[in-house]
């Protein structure tokens, strides 16, 4: 039976060989208690130079992206291209439950440390690979990025103004979606390995996860209504009306998804502005019936939102069961009273940066709590701890490996 303070993944070990496309997968597992060991090339990974930087100044351990994406992990340096590096990797793999990697398709196999080799030495091992287009198929060898995933996965096609170029989603959301899918899929594979004694190779495609998660650009609207989503500014084709509307002191975002939501909104507009036309049955029903009247409805809604502050219309919208959301700046989000009441932001003390506020738990299991157990590791911070204390490599061997550029 799991103790009240024991983390869900406290007895699992994960090796992570991942760039920005998969680092969040390792973070999700590490913050839930897994012993995630991040492997970097000697000298450190390029992701340590991803902006923004603390106080805008680049330098060691100053990438806010890296600091956030690598909480609760231990870190080692290892050159898997070197024969001795590959031998060490195989020894580590024997102790692991899961490996998460974002290397090109076939890269590990070409080095002689692919899934068949590792699985023969550790039958329950799960290998999760995150690539642009999956492990097989006509595009398997193509390069990708968060921008490419957004283009081939659909979001760029529907984001932005119709007359302007497509707009990329902020915050590498396609990477985050793939990492989240990789983490959940890995847990399923680990459960299967425990039951069957055999691990498996989990194949995560950036394009596929983007297509699957981004309902606003997927095939759902076509299958439901024969409508191809287009770029319509801040609005969505799948939700009409929707978009960002001006208030007295900012903007509020609205989504209307169900006939009852429209009826509630139309009645509110009528109450506040006296508008009779908004009550016309012509506008009732699913979103698809209102698409051709979008611009007219935007005018009606703007008359309502102009009467309120953002906070006032947000709370009144909640009371009426209408999906309004304040559009906040980063500073406003950091000071949001609801997030403060939920103790969302937490302090993490890093030896190089001092205490910083980090976004907190993405979910809160009651029995097995989420926790950031340590700050992001420095370059090779845990080399001695893992290679010497856990693998039994002598100090002289470690020095020799370091001199040869293996670690």
Q: Answer whether residue 405 shows pLDDT above 50.
A: yes
Domain finish residue from 267, 296, 326: 326
Task: Tell me the residue length of the chain.
Answer: 407
Are 23 and 69 spatial neighbours (Cβ–Cβ below 8 Å)?
yes
CA distance 60 to 53: 10
Domain count, the chain: 2
Structural domain boundaries enclosing 255: 232-246+251-326
323-326 vs 251-255, strand pairing mode: antiparallel
Per-chain mean pLDDT for the chain: 94
369-388 pLDDT tens trace: 999 999 999 999 999 999 99
Q: Are residues 287 and 378 in the same domain?
A: no
Q: Which residues have a Cβ under 8 Å from the Cβ of 75 and sit 6 or more positions away?
A: 37, 38, 40, 376, 377, 378, 379, 380, 381, 382
Looking at the domain assignment, is residue 5 inside a domain? Answer: no
274 Cβ contact list (under 8 Å, min separation 6): none
> Which residue, 177, 190, 182, 10, is CA-closest to 98?
190
* Alpha-carbon separation of residue 133 from 8, 45, 105, 308 (angstroms): 31, 23, 9, 47
The residue with tokens 């947000």 is: 314
Residues 209-239 pLDDT 10s: 998 887 666 677 777 778 888 899 999 888 8
**239 and 126 together in one domain:** no
Examine residue 52 and say whether the peptide bond preceding it is cis (omega within 30 degrees of 0): yes
* Domain endpoint, select from 300, 326, 352: 326
Is there a single domain that holds both residue 70 and residue 21? yes
Confidence of residue 169 (pLDDT cuts 50, 70, 90): confident
Per-residue pLDDT at 5: 59
Task: Give pLDDT, residue 310.
Answer: 96
Nearest to 265, CA basis, from 327, 328, 216, 313: 313
Strand 35-40 to 242-246 pairing: unpaired
Contact 257, 285 (CB under 8 A): no
* Residue 2 confidence (pLDDT) above 70: no
Same domain, 124 and 152: yes
pTM: 0.93
């Amino acid at each position: 039976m799991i103790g009240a303070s024991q983390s869900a993944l406290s007895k699992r070990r994960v090796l992570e060989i991942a760039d920005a496309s998969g680092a969040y997968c390792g973070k999700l597992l590490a913050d839930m208690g897994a012993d995630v060991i991040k492997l970097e090339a000697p000298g450190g990974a390029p992701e340590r130079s991803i902006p923004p930087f603390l106080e805008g100044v680049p330098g060691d351990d100053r990438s806010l992206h890296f600091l956030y994406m690598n909480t609760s992990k231990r870190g080692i340096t290892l050159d898997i291209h070197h024969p001795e590096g590959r031998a060490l990797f195989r020894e580590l793999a024997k102790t692991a439950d899961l490996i998460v990697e974002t290397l090109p398709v076939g890269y590990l196999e070409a080095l002689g440390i692919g899934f068949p080799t590792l699985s023969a030495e550790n039958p329950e091992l799960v290998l999760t690979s995150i690539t642009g287009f999956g492990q097989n198929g006509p595009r398997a060898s193509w390069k990708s990025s968060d921008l490419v995933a957004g283009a081939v996965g659909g979001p760029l096609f529907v984001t932005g103004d119709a007359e302007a170029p497509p707009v990329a989603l902020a915050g590498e959301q396609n990477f985050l979606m793939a990492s989240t899918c990789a983490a959940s899929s890995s847990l399923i594979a680990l459960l299967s390995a425990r039951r069957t004694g055999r691990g498996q190779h989990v194949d995560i495609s950036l394009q596929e996860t983007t297509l699957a998660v981004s309902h606003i650009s997927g095939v759902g609207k076509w299958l439901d209504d024969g409508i191809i989503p287009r770029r319509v500014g801040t609005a969505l084709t799948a939700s009409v009306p929707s978009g960002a509307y001006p208030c007295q002191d900012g903007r509020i975002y609205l989504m209307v998804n169900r006939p009852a939501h429209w009826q509630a909104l139309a009645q509110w507009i009528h109450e506040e502005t006296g508008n009779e036309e908004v009550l016309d049955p012509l506008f009732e029903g699913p979103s698809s019936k209102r698409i051709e009247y979008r611009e007219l409805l935007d005018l009606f809604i703007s008359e309502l939102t102009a009467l309120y502050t953002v906070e006032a219309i947000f709370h009144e919208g909640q009371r009426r069961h209408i999906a309004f959301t304040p559009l906040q700046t980063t500073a406003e989000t950091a000071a949001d009273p609801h997030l403060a009441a939920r103790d969302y932001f937490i302090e993490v003390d890093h030896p190089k940066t001092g205490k910083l506020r980090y976004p907190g738990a993405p979910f809160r299991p009651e029995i097995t709590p989420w926790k950031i157990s340590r700050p992001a590791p420095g370059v090779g911070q845990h080399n001695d701890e893992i290679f010497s204390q856990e693998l039994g490599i002598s100090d002289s061997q470690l020095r020799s490996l370091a001199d040869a550029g293996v670690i």
